[in-house]
Amino acid sequence: MRIWKFGDNVDTDQIIPADYLTTGDAKKLAAHAFAKVRPEFAKEVKQGDIIVAGENFGCGSSREHAPRALLGAGVRCVIAKSFARIFFRNSINIGLPLIEADVSDRIEEGDEIEIRFEDGVITNHTKRAEYQFTPLPEFMQRLLQSGGLINYIKRMK
């Protein structure tokens, strides 16, 4: 598990540049995640890695390709101080967990962390610290547990 840290206002053009928007396939998109601003990301990211960022993560374009690229890259969840609203909805709808928590100053790349989603607790084993967050509303947790909106709608039938 690796932590990838980003700053404030990471826009969806950074997450997946427009050059690659000719497919909706998560794996294909993942090969170009952060291609312009952090080219090593797509090569080095592993299943279970976590992104930690500041304010307004995912601002800009409504392209669902952005959370799809992260999901395809194996990102387990994104922790940010706040999220842009379309990115937030897109992520939950496709089953990418998000945590709204102001911990960017307290988690370093290289830290070993553990997340208990239902309890709203992030444990930083490296720093021997715990951070609380407000768990997602129950409705959104159900969406995530179903694997996103489509599986949720299918189950409801």
Partner 1 sequence: MPTIAAKILSEKAGIGRAANAGEIVECEVDYVMVNDITGVPAFEVFQELGNANEMRTEKVVVIQDHYVPNKDVESAEQARALRSYARRYQIEDYYEIGRGGICHQVMIEEGFVAPGRLIIGADSHTCSYGALGAFSTGVGSTEAAAAMATGRLWFKVPETQKFVINGELRRYVMGKDIILHIIGEIGVSGSLYKAQEFYGTAIENLSLSDRITISNMAVEAGAKAGIIPPDEKVFDFLRGRVRGEYRAVYADGNEEDYEEVVEYDAAAIVPTVAKPFSPDNTVPASELDVLIDQAYLGSCTNGRIEDLRVAAELLKGRKVNPAVRMIVVPASEKVFQQAIEEGLITIFLEAGAFVCGPTCGACLGGHMGVLAQGERCISTTNRNFIGRMGHKDSEVYLANPAVVAASALNGRITDPTGF
Query: Residues 51-70 vs partner 1: string with x where CB under 8 A?
Result: ----xx--xxxxxxx-xx--
Residue 124 binds to partner 1 (criterion: CB under 8 A) = no
Residue 7 binds to partner 1 (criterion: CB under 8 A) = no
Residue 146 binds to partner 1 (criterion: CB under 8 A) = no
In the set 85, 125, 142, 155, which binds partner 1 (CB under 8 A)? 85
Nearer to partner 1, 65 or 111 (CB): 65
Residue 94 binds to partner 1 (criterion: CB under 8 A) = yes
Structure tokens at 121: 């607790």
